[in-house]
Amino acid sequence: MSIAELRQEYHRYICQEIIRIKRDKKSAKEYPNFADGSNRSSREISWGIARSLACSISYENIQEQTAGDRFEVATKNFLEQAFILLQHLRPGNWYDHPQR
């Protein structure tokens, strides 16, 4: 697998398993769940990210803690796999530091 393929897989997972569209109850404005719904710039930036990742729109509810946990695991897995692919540039042992 190449870095580009690994990156596409990572983005696909984020779109499918993490990013959801929320609707503000007062204004009825929609925005991705990682935006600050009360901040226009944050909403616009999050829409730009979702569009650049080519995420399909999902309104399925996901708890914020669940989304955060999934993002942490997905990012950790992506980095571990990317470091393996980059071993020729930075030889040595890569390891996970224990949590404090």
Please check whether residue 91 lies inside any domain of the structure.
no
User: Is residue 98 predicted with pLDDT exceeding 90?
Assistant: no
| Domain carrying residue 7 | 3-85
Average pLDDT over residues 65-80: 95
Integer angstrom CA distances of residue 71 from 28, 51, 66: 27, 18, 9
The structure's pTM equals: 0.82
Task: Give the chain's domain count.
Answer: 1
Give the list of residues 6+ apart from residue 86 with CB closer than 8 angstroms, or none: 3
Average pLDDT over residues 58-83: 94
Quickly state the pLDDT bin for 86 (edges 50, 70, 90).
confident
User: Is residue 100 predicted with pLDDT exceeding 60?
Assistant: no
The residue written with tokens 């499918």 in the block is 16
pLDDT of residue 2: 93
Please check whether residue 61 lies inside any domain of the structure.
yes
